[in-house]
Structures are given as C-alpha cells and as structure tokens.
Amino acid sequence: MIFVDALRRGGMARIFRAAVGLRACGTTSDDPFRSSLLVSIFAARRTAFVLLMIAVGAQSFASEAQSREIIDMVGRHVVLPNKIGRIFSAAPPTTLVVYAMKPDTLIGWNFAPEPPKEDLAKFLDQRTIGLPVLGNMMGHGQQANLEEVLAASPDLVVAWANSFLDTAPIAQRFEKAGVPVIFLKLEELPDYVAAFALMGEVLDLAPRGRELGAYVASALARVEAALAQVPSDQRVRVYYAETPDGLATDCDRSIHAEAIRRAGGINVYQCAQGELVGMERISLEQVVRFAPDMIVAQDRSFARMVSEDARWRNVKAVASGQVRVVPRIPFNWIDRPPGYMEALGVQWLANWFYPNAYPLDLQAEVKKFYNLFFNVDLGDGDVVRLLH
C-alpha cells in the first residue's frame, strides 16, 4: 500500500512523462534503427504503464471495498473496516449494547458480571464468561490501560456520549493509534432504539438491531399507556437506596433513577443531576421526612438491615414492608450501569408500583427478555433466583 500511495502521489505521472519523452526523442531521429528501437521501448513502457494503472486501480478498489463510512450518534463520519471481529467498548452502557448485538466481538469487560464465573453459564454467552476485565475509559470504576487495550488488537472502539463526558480525548487516543471510534449517545432509555439500529449497521446485523430496539420501544409504550390511567394524586412516592447503609441516592432527574421515573414513581429526592457518578449522600432524618411509600434498594444487605434497625422503622416504606432489591444477574435491571436492562426493570417496577394498572406475568417477561437479549433459555427456577 505504501508503494501504491507513492504512485498515486505522482509516480505514475513521472513514468508517463518519461515515456512521452522517449517517444518525442524517437520521432526526431534520422536513424531508422534508433527510431524503431525507441518506438519499441515506448510501446513496452506504455504497456507496462497501462498494466500498472490497472493493478493500482484494482488495489485501490479493493482497499475501498474493505471499508465503509458510517455516521455515529454524535454526527461524526467514521471509516470502518467491512469486517469487524474485535470490539473494545469503553463504558458499561455501550458494552451491554455490543453484548446484546454480537457477544463474540467483545475483547473484554469493563466490570465483572455477576454472579461469579462458575455460575454464569445460565445467564451469559459461553464465549464471554472467560473474558478479561479490561476496565473502562469513561465514568468511574476500574480504568482501562490504553496499551493493554491496543495489545488486544481491537478493530473498533465503541464509546459512550452523554452530557457529562468529553468525547474528544478518547477519540484522539485511539484514532492516533489507527483504531476507529464510534460514539453511542445514550442519555435516556429511548436512545437505545437508535443505538441498536446503528450497531446493526456497523455489524451488518440490521434485523437484529431493529428487533432489540423494537422491544425497548414497545415496553416503554406499554408502560406509558398503563400509567396514563393512574391519577397524579395516586402516584407512589419512592426512595432509591444505593448503598449498604441506604444513605446514598440519586436525583429524580438523574440518568441513574430514570427507571423509577418511567415506571410512574415519584422519586422523593427532587433535584437535577450534578455529575455523572451520582450517589449523593443524605441523612436518615431526611429519608424519614420524605416518607416514601416504597424503597428500591440496590444492596441486599441493606434490605436485611432495615428490617432489624429500629431507626429505619420510622420510615413509612420500611414500616409497611415495601422494600425490594433490584435484580442484577448478569446485569443490573435499573442502574449501575444504566442501560437497556431498564426496559425490563421499568416493567418490574411498574407492576410493583401499580399492579392493577400494569398487570404482568413477570416470569414469562423475564424469560422472553433474556432469550431475546442474551440468547439464553431460563427455567422457572432460574427466574426465581434472579428475583430473590
């Protein structure tokens, strides 16, 4: 390709000028033998020149045929190889998208899926269970090492774009190393419809992308239609407890609490998200004053603790036994990371918040979701394990 590029930059033109120069010399000679010789040389060089042009054109065509251009979700024009077999995803939300689309393209995880490896066979593609944890380059948690990622020879980097992240540094770092980067702009759950469509184009799996996006859109539409029947004064008040002590939470307008909002819950911690990580600290006294009807908990030890702690019994939801732990195998249903798992989590929450408005055969829906997104067939016992 270096030789071809050199020819494109003027090598062929020089050959052509040299050939024309020989031809010109030949036409002014009085020596018949010399004229005949020069004409023969010119003809031979002209033939070689034509063959070279054909070869260069074929190589150029082949090179172009091996790549294509796409426009990512932040409007960047990115040239991709036609065949993409190895992907590094720079953040958990995008990793989950790649996993659902084509799990065998992932070169590593940003975090270790739950539960431990020996228990994952029921819930994850076998080819991904032993993947290394490379870390991520966007957000908190274990940070990936650029050299280690490049040593794994990715064909493509898929990165996360949102209001809190600067996309330029990661694009520059990988593109400087010759690895293309595309961004999935994921601010809220409906964005996953477009994200799956784009990854369908990138991986030449357009029907798969449409199918996954259609599930997300349909789930949201069903819940929204059901919630339209619930008057605003009958909406439940919800506290989101994220840590073992239950005193870290997220604003109602945060990306981390989106599932509660879309399920029709009124998040008692009313504010705008100030940073990507979230998990803002509050006091137990504040929780008591909030008087939530229900508590959505991320930590199972918290759920056990509040049932035994006299101080937490002053919280309305605890006193009435309305505390539930978010399922998280193999990925969290509503947050950490935020993602398309919320399409299932929103239904789970809506059914808990408003069982009459949104009746749901949860076992059947869980089996459907896991089969569609993870290509696994769950039994009744597997679903019970997920939920408890």
Give me the torsion for CA of 342, 335, 385, 236, rounded to 10°: -70
Q: What is the mean pLDDT of the chain?
A: 86
* Cis-peptide, bond into residue 231, ω within 30° of zero: no
250-269 pLDDT, tens per residue? 999 999 999 999 999 999 99
Q: Which residue has the higher pLDDT, 46 or 369?
A: 369
Residue with tokens 């593109």: 175
Evaluate if pTM is beyond 0.75: yes
212-248 pLDDT, tens per residue? 999 999 999 999 999 999 999 999 999 999 999 999 9
Average pLDDT over residues 190-197: 98
Instruction: Count H helices and E strands in the chain, helices first.
Output: 16, 11
Domains 68-221 and 231-387 share a fold: yes
- Residue 116 banded pLDDT, cuts 50, 70, 90: low
Instruction: Give the CATH fold of the 68-221 domain.
Output: Rossmann fold (3.40.50)
Instruction: Give the CATH fold of the 231-387 domain.
Output: Rossmann fold (3.40.50)
The reported pLDDT for the residue numbered 142 is: 79
Three state DSSP letters for 101-131: HCHHHECCECCCCCCCHHHHHHCCCHHHHCC
pLDDT exceeds 70 at position 53: no
pLDDT exceeds 50 at position 26: no
The reported pLDDT for the residue numbered 126 is: 84
| Domain boundaries of the chain, sorted by first residue | 2-65, 68-221, 231-387
Average pLDDT over residues 59-71: 67
pLDDT exceeds 70 at position 82: yes
Give me the torsion for CA of 174, 192, 134, 115, rounded to 10°: 180
Range with the poorest average pLDDT among 24-33, 171-180, 320-329, 379-388: 24-33
Strand order in the sheet with 87-89: 87-89, 156-161, 181-185
The reported pLDDT for the residue numbered 345 is: 98
% pLDDT > 70, the chain: 81
- Residue 65 banded pLDDT, cuts 50, 70, 90: low
pLDDT exceeds 70 at position 105: yes
% pLDDT > 90, the chain: 71
pLDDT exceeds 90 at position 130: no
pLDDT exceeds 70 at position 87: yes
pLDDT exceeds 70 at position 31: no
- E-strand ranges in 243-341 read 248-249, 266-267, 280-281, 294-297, 323-325
138-158 pLDDT, tens per residue? 766 678 999 999 999 999 999
